[in-house]
Amino acid sequence: MKKIINLIISKILFIFKGEISQLKDANSFLNNVSGVIHVGANSGQERDEYNLYSLNVIWIEPIPKVFNKLKKNIKKYSKQKAYKYLLTNIDNQDINFKIANNAGQSSSILELNQHKDIWPNVEYTSSIKLKSSTLKNVIKHEKIDIKKYQALIMDTQGSELLVLKGGSSLLKNFKYIKTEAADFESYKECCLIKDLSKFLNKFGFKEIKKIKFATRKGGGNYFDILYERK
């Protein structure tokens, strides 16, 4: 029995170490940049990691309560700044933004669809009216020096393609783009991986890493995807 238990523990540790190694590998591109723009910041869960890389960071988060928490969380990091905007491909559009019950992490401009097949306990509990902005205009309005930021990171729950379209003129400034995306309709009418790849290929970006982190029983997966401009 002891041997069996030790074998199980060894297998668990092996899997855990593999996941940690994979995570480190997924973010190794941060060694090659001096700054990142992170759209869909939530409460800034990656703030400590970005600080370890000594990065300049622009966080963009639309939900007021979450944004306030984000600002508190990054207060001690002088190279990290937060801005409260909802990014799409259109400026000054009224958006009914849906708030999810998992600390806002699954909140979106889109309705939930097959997302519930993986996370059945996640649901929308409220909504707020927000004005949309484009990444291009945020950079201009806030007088952000785009040259300091060679990586764009997105986690906007299905609206990533809209964010890219709203900042298409800026894409030439980025060396890397990392995004969370699915290959099934997690949110109604959300962009899929193939949509993102098709769009980014036009700007010289090619997929270089693709790490699966969630699987849907009925078919389909969620991935962290890294694109590099060649």
In CATH terms, the fold of domain 34-229 is: Rossmann fold (3.40.50)
**149-169, pLDDT tens digit by residue?**
999 999 999 999 999 999 999
Structure tokens at 177: 């783009």
**Strand-pair partners of 223:** 181, 212
Please check the confidence at residue 4 and state whether its pLDDT lies above 60.
Answer: no
User: Above 50 in pLDDT, residue 64?
Assistant: yes
Please state the separation of Cα 33 from the chain's center in Å: 17
pLDDT band at 9 (very low <50, low <70, confident <90, very high): low
Sign (positive or negative) of CA dihedral 40, 46, 51, 52: negative
* pLDDT attached to residue 186: 97
Q: What is the pTM of this model?
A: 0.88
Task: With cut-offs at 50, 70 and 90, classify the pLDDT of residue 26.
Answer: confident
Mean pLDDT confidence for 38-52? 97
